[in-house]
Amino acid sequence: MKLTSTLQQTARLLVIVSSFIVTSNTTLAISAETPKPTVSMLFAGDIVLDGVPAQWIAEKKDPLEAYSAILASTDIRIGNLECVVATTGDKAEKIFTFRGNPIALPTIHQHFDAVSLANNHSGDFGRAAFTEMLGHLEQQKFSYFGGGRNLKAAHKPLILERKGIRIALLGYDEFMPRSFEATATEAGVAWSEDDEQVVRDIKNARLTYHADVVIPFMHWGWENEPLSGERQHQLAHLMIDAGADAVIGGHPHVTQDTEQYKGKPIIYSIGNFMIDSLDNEPQTRGWIVRLEVSTSGVNAWDTRLARLNDDGIPYPDKEAMTPCWHGKGEAIQQCSNAETRFIPH
Ligand SMILES: [Zn+2]
């Protein structure tokens, strides 16, 4: 089932009514109000191709089976690839390091159009492994953003065009280690602590890449914090002031608060999506966030609870109530996950 919304239905009705008037009286000059095309987008949180979910894939089982209908019904699907995907590299000196086998990538690509590499795990096995991952992604024509073969490439927006709407995706990490950051000549992630650079990237997405919609996907905040912090607020506002249409965040492994700032959504953290390193109950509850966008930005959005089992496999929870926003003039509300307005079940 494809996405329908009251807005689209009303617009369709308008077209039908107008064409009826036009055909019944051709002298009556009524221009049909053609509805603006809309595109549905979905963002999922941390996806780690290690541990049990990776084992499932190796055994030819699909850990995202329960989500296949939801993902397939959305025009653009984005995830955060919270690991490196490579066969080479040396483990960094960190408590947690994640590396996925390249054979797992096609299963993820089957469900997602693009992944963000801007996080604190894509550099876990060094720059050579990171570069190897870029090669695997490119070979499979699996789009990525927030990382690249050098600093310039890492800050370049990924442009996805659907129904004539150009959407720019930028990805940034600002959770340590900063050593994963790309340099002028070395591969790595985009880092967001240089506010001026972020503002330039957003403006550039519109001016140079002619994007209609610009969305930064952030990796920020503190783990297990249920509320976003001061830096997240400041940077999110700065990005929207610079022209971003929405800001989606992750990394804390739990969901955080949401905000409409100048009419534009900020979802501070969407939490986990597929990961078996789970320390506490809130980490087993992630959100997928879905946006309905047109050339004028985000028309509406909602979130849906993804409940991760002990093996880190996500399942939709239809009983849950999670934040949603129905459009201009509305306040953020709690929506029943059983509703099908944005996401068919
Ligand atoms: Zn992270």
Q: What is the pLDDT of residue 59?
A: 96
47 CA distance to ligand 1 middle (Å): 10
Q: What is the pLDDT of residue 20?
A: 40
Q: What is the pLDDT of residue 162?
A: 96
Residues 71, 64: contact at Cβ < 8 Å? Answer: yes
**Residue 273, CA distances (Å) to 64, 151, 173 in order:** 10, 28, 18
More confident residue, 118 or 1: 118
Q: Which two tokens stand for residue 293?
A: 């966008």
Mean pLDDT, rounded, of the chain: 90
Amino acid at residue number 264:
K
185 CA distance to ligand 1 middle (Å): 25
Q: Are strands 297-308 and 285-294 parallel, antiparallel or unpaired?
A: antiparallel
Residue 254 φ/ψ region, left for φ over 0, alpha for ψ in the -120 to 50 degree band, beta for the rest: beta
288 CA distance to ligand 1 middle (Å): 16
302 CA distance to ligand 1 middle (Å): 23
Q: Round to whole Å and give the CA distance between 218 and 251.
A: 8
Residue 345, pLDDT > 90, answer no
- Per residue in 167-200, pLDDT tens? 999 999 999 999 999 999 999 999 999 999 999 9
212 CA distance to ligand 1 middle (Å): 29
- Per residue in 29-61, pLDDT tens? 445 667 789 999 999 999 999 999 999 999 999
Q: Round to whole Å and give the CA distance between 213 and 296.
A: 7
Mean pLDDT of 205-209: 98
| Domain boundaries defined on the chain | 1-35, 39-336
CATH code, 39-336: 3.60.21.10
What does the chain come to in residues?
345
Q: What is the pLDDT of residue 67?
A: 94
Q: What is the pLDDT of residue 42?
A: 97
120 CA distance to ligand 1 middle (Å): 5
Among the residues of the chain, which ranges form H helices?
6-24, 51-58, 68-72, 105-111, 126-139, 151-154, 195-207, 230-241
171 CA distance to ligand 1 middle (Å): 13
335 CA distance to ligand 1 middle (Å): 27
Residue 108, pLDDT > 80, answer yes
261 CA distance to ligand 1 middle (Å): 25
300 CA distance to ligand 1 middle (Å): 27
Residues 246, 298: contact at Cβ < 8 Å? Answer: yes
- Per residue in 152-164, pLDDT tens? 999 999 999 999 9
219 CA distance to ligand 1 middle (Å): 6
Q: What is the pLDDT of residue 339?
A: 78
117 CA distance to ligand 1 middle (Å): 10
